[in-house]
């Protein structure tokens, strides 16, 4: 084989191997990165959906848990049912007042008015016929029964009976306690043990709350009550009714609650099928549902709520009303005190569509890159073959140097450019080979940097018409943009987790919660200063925004400020219930009155702290740098989290204050009871002394009488 053929064959082989290797490496790295991006995007969307479901169920769980805590608090039940019982007594008192008026006007006699009143009240019922009223007189110490709708045999009799000694911890006569309460305050609450009408065991007593009120004009006491069990059931049913009405995700998602009993749980509440309440589930209720383990949907959710592996999540398919099968993801959480499993779900078809679109976009970009790399490789091969044939036909000796260079290049070695000064065809071939070396080197560097996810490198295409070079630049820019978006998503996810943990950690004190939240927000966003204002009400019942936290220039500021509603940016934001964002304010602009004081900030953001359309306050931040859109969205999100925690902390503090007040009142009553006992002991001692002196006087009188009779006899 002659030199020309050898050189031509060698150059052609070298070019093919080099281009194929470089192209394969570039294509492999691009495809691998594309697959990773698709999987990461799918994982991110799934995680976002799971977090969304978990946050929804956590809200329902928190409501049920708070309700459970309240139901074990007698003061809460008194407050909850107090208005209800008092309003029923108001109705009865209105009837009594009307009959008393007829008696005063002479239309009826007093006994007639009383008989008609008793007859009317005796037939009154409320709470589905469970609630009724009774009337006693005011006899001291034990009243007599005037009317009782369920125990008519007691009417007209004294209530001095051991079976009525069920009030309080010392088992006093309940009607005597009622008389003492009305005598002291005119009306009031008290509790005692009583047998429910539907109880088969008459010895079983259940706690009951009653509210009594005095009618001085007729010397009556009338009252009504509710069993604590019934009160609790009404409170729970009210909460379940509220949860049943909750809809989200455009009304396609809702809550349902079942018992955790297997294999046939019972429906406690269902947002879509309210008629299922109390229904025992046998597994045939939803034939259109298919779970991964072929179990009933409700059984799968109960098992998932108990599984450390599943952590409450299951995937399943469900046919909709049009017969189309939808993929869904559900999350379930157990509330152990009640043995309930709280669940909700969302459709995942949207996630699949997003992932498919993302995959389609990345695949299209990869195919374009592969096509351009292939075209570039073909162009390089053709140019190399032409150059090899041209130079070998002119001078085979001169081509030897080029041959050696190409051999080294084909072996993947680093080669230096020839830098030929010849002006003839050999010089042009050498220059073209130098350009090829530059191009292969730069393309390899681009592929290496992209494979290492380093998108900040500098790269200059070989020319304006360098299709491959320009496409590599476009690919670098697109990947760099995607990396930036991923960085923002990671920043937001990390920030949400950080502030979620912060809010869970500092949930005891409103001031401490606000301080820690504001300090971390200012530092996380590199702000200059910020303040938290909470709605308060003064002794004059004037509502205003009070600053409870201020942080500026890396330090907590101990400032106190009250802003009237509508005053400044903070007051305006509170009234309008929407955020205010001012930016690019000139230095010579009029001073703006804000919650942070008189200043000329370049960038001010005021966001309302709202939960369930109820505004609790505002948060105001200032910066000399413009806030980006994702930063503002992040602030809105964490402010919503802060508002929910403020509501919870405020409720806890209010409950704590009420408990302290109740304890103080209990101590006062104990002190008064001790003082009364001492007075009684002193009165008893005085009475005994009087009896002793009276006996002595009687003995002296008897002696004098005997002496007088003896004197008379003498």
Cβ-in-10-Å burial (0-12, 13-18, 19+) of 205 comes to: middle
Give domain limits for the chain.
3-58+358-484, 74-229, 246-347, 506-714
Q: Where does the pLDDT of residue 9 fall: very low under 50, low under 70, confident under 90, or very high at 90 and above?
A: confident
Top pLDDT among 294 and 680 is at 680
Question: What is the model's pTM?
Answer: 0.42
SS (H, E, C) 171-239: CEEHHHHHHHHHHHHCEEEEEEEECCCCCCCCCCCEEEEEEEEEEHHHCEEEEEEEEHHHHHHHHHHHH
pLDDT tens per residue, range 84-118: 888 889 989 999 999 999 989 888 899 999 999 99
pLDDT tens per residue, range 155-167: 999 999 888 888 8
Give pLDDT, residue 4: 61
Top pLDDT among 609 and 480 is at 609
Angle CA(681)–CA(685)–CA(689) in degrees, nearest 5? 170
Q: Where does the pLDDT of residue 414 fall: very low under 50, low under 70, confident under 90, or very high at 90 and above?
A: low
Helix and strand totals (H; E) in the chain: 13, 24
* Mean pLDDT value across residues 442-446: 68
pLDDT tens per residue, range 41-63: 888 888 888 898 888 889 888 88
pLDDT tens per residue, range 62-90: 888 887 777 666 677 677 777 888 888 99
Give pLDDT, residue 395: 60
Homologous superfamily of domain range 74-229: PAS domain (3.30.450.20)
Q: Where does the pLDDT of residue 186 fall: very low under 50, low under 70, confident under 90, or very high at 90 and above?
A: very high
Give pLDDT, residue 643: 84
pLDDT tens per residue, range 353-362: 878 888 888 8
Phi and psi at residue 408, to the nearest 5°: -65, -40
pLDDT tens per residue, range 247-298: 877 777 889 899 988 888 999 889 888 888 888 888 776 766 777 777 788 8
88-109 b/e with 16+ CB inside 10 Å = b?
bbeebeeebeebbebbeeeebe
pLDDT tens per residue, range 610-627: 888 888 889 988 887 788
**123-137, 203-217, 258-272, 478-492: lowest mean pLDDT where?**
478-492
CA atoms within 13 A on the CB side of 494: 9
| Cα gap 510→518, rounded to integer Å | 12
Share the mean pLDDT of the chain.
80
**CATH, range 506-714:** 3.30.450.40
**Tell me, which fold does domain 246-347 have in CATH?**
Beta-Lactamase (3.30.450)
Whether the Cβ atoms of residue 450 and residue 426 lie closer than 8 Å to each other: no
Give pLDDT, residue 587: 57
Give pLDDT, residue 601: 59
pLDDT above 90 for 214: yes
Do the first three CATH levels of 246-347 and 506-714 match, i.e. the same topology? Answer: yes
pLDDT above 80 for 467: no
| Cα gap 256→30, rounded to integer Å | 46
pLDDT above 60 for 704: yes
* Mean pLDDT value across residues 432-449: 69
Q: Where does the pLDDT of residue 591 fall: very low under 50, low under 70, confident under 90, or very high at 90 and above?
A: very low
Q: What percent of the chain has pLDDT over 70?
A: 83
CB atoms within 10 A of CB 201: 8
CA atoms within 13 A on the CB side of 137: 16
| Cα gap 500→66, rounded to integer Å | 19
In three-state secondary structure terms, 356 is: helix
User: For residue 651, which of 69, 255, 246, 241 has the smallest C-alpha distance?
Assistant: 69
Give pLDDT, residue 3: 58
Whether the Cβ atoms of residue 534 and residue 677 lie closer than 8 Å to each other: no
Whether the Cβ atoms of residue 499 and residue 520 lie closer than 8 Å to each other: yes
Q: Where does the pLDDT of residue 121 fall: very low under 50, low under 70, confident under 90, or very high at 90 and above?
A: very high
Q: Where does the pLDDT of residue 179 fall: very low under 50, low under 70, confident under 90, or very high at 90 and above?
A: very high
| Cα gap 123→134, rounded to integer Å | 11
Q: Where does the pLDDT of residue 589 fall: very low under 50, low under 70, confident under 90, or very high at 90 and above?
A: very low
Whether the Cβ atoms of residue 206 and residue 173 lie closer than 8 Å to each other: no
Give pLDDT, residue 422: 66
Q: Could you tell me the sign of the dihedral formed by the alpha carbons of 46, 48, 52, 55, in that order?
A: positive
User: For residue 343, which of 423, 389, 281, 404 has the smallest C-alpha distance?
Assistant: 281
């Amino acid at each position: 084989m002659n030199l020309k053929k050898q050189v031509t064959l060698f150059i052609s082989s070298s070019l093919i191997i080099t281009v194929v290797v470089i192209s394969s490496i570039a294509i492999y790295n691009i495809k691998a990165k594309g697959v990773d991006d698709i999987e990461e995007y799918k994982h991110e969307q799934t995680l976002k959906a799971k977090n969304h479901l978990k946050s929804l169920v956590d809200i329902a769980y928190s409501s049920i848990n708070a309700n459970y805590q309240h139901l074990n608090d007698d003061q809460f039940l008194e407050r909850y049912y107090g208005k209800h019982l008092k309003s029923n007594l108001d109705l009865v008192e209105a009837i009594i007042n009307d009959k008393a008026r007829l008696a005063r006007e002479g239309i009826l006699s007093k006994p007639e008015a009383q008989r008609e009143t008793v007859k009317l009240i005796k037939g009154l019922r409320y709470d589905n016929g469970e609630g009724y009223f009774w009337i006693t007189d005011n006899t001291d110490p034990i009243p007599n029964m005037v009317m009782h709708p369920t125990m008519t045999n007691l009417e007209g009799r004294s209530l001095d009976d051991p079976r009525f000694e069920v009030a309080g911890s010392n088992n006093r006569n309940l009607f005597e306690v009622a008389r003492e309460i009305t005598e002291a305050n005119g009306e009031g609450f008290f509790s005692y043990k009583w047998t429910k009408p539907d109880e088969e065991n008459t010895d079983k007593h259940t706690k009951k709350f009653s509210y009594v009120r005095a009618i001085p004009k007729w010397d009556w006491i009338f009252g009504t009550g509710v069993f604590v069990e019934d009160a609790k059931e009404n409170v729970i049913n009210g909460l379940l009714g509220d949860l049943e009405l909750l809809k989200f995700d455009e009304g396609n998602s809702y809550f349902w609650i079942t018992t955790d009993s297997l294999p046939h749980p019972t429906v406690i509440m269902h947002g879509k099928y309210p008629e299922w309440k109390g229904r025992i589930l046998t597994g045939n209720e939803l034939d259109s549902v298919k779970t991964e383990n072929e179990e009933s949907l409700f059984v799968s959710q109960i098992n998932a709520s108990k599984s450390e592996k599943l952590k409450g999540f299951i995937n399943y398919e469900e046919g909709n009303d049009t017969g189309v099968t939808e993929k869904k993801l559900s999350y379930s959480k157990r509330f152990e005190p009640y043995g309930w499993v709280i669940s909700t779900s969302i459709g995942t078809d949207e996630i699949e569509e997003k992932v498919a679109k993302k995959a389609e976009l990345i695949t299209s970009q990869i195919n374009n890159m592969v096509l351009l790399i292939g075209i570039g490789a073909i162009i390089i091969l053709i140019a190399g073959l032409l150059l090899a044939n041209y130079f070998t036909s002119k001078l085979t000796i001169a081509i030897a140097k080029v041959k050696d260079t190409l051999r080294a290049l084909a072996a993947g070695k680093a080669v230096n450019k020839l830098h030929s000064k010849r002006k003839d065809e050999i010089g042009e071939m050498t220059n073209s080979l130098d350009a090829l070396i530059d191009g292969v080197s730069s393309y390899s560097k681009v592929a290496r940097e992209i494979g290492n996810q380093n998108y900040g490198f500098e790269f200059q295409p070989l020319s304006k018409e360098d299709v491959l070079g320009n496409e590599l630049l476009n690919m670098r820019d697109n990947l760099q943009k995607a990396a930036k978006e991923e960085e923002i998503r990671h920043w937001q996810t990390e920030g949400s987790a950080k502030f979620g943990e912060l809010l869970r950690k500092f949930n005891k004190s409103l001031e401490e919660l606000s301080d820690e939240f504001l300090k971390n927000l200012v530092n996380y966003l590199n702000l200059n200063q910020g303040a938290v204002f909470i709605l308060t009400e003064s002794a004059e019942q004037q509502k205003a925004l009070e600053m409870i936290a201020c942080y500026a220039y890396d330090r907590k500021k101990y400032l106190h400020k009250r802003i009237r509603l509508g005053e400044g940016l903070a007051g305006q934001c509170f009234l309008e219930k929407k955020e205010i964002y001012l930016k690019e304010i000139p230095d010579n602009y009029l001073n703006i009155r804000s919650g942070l004081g008189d200043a000329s900030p370049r960038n001010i953001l005021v966001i309302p702290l709202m939960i369930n359309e109820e505004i609790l306050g505002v948060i105001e931040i200032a910066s000399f740098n413009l806030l980006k859109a994702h930063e503002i969205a992040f602030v809105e999100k964490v402010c919503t989290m802060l508002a929910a925690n403020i509501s919870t902390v405020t409720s806890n503090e209010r409950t704590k204050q009420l408990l302290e007040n109740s304890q103080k009142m209990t101590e006062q009553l104990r002190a008064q009871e001790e003082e009364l006992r001492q007075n009684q002991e002193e009165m008893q001692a005085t009475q005994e002394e009087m009896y002793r002196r009276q006996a002595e006087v009687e003995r002296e009188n008897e002696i004098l009488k005997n002496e007088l009779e003896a004197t008379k006899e003498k």
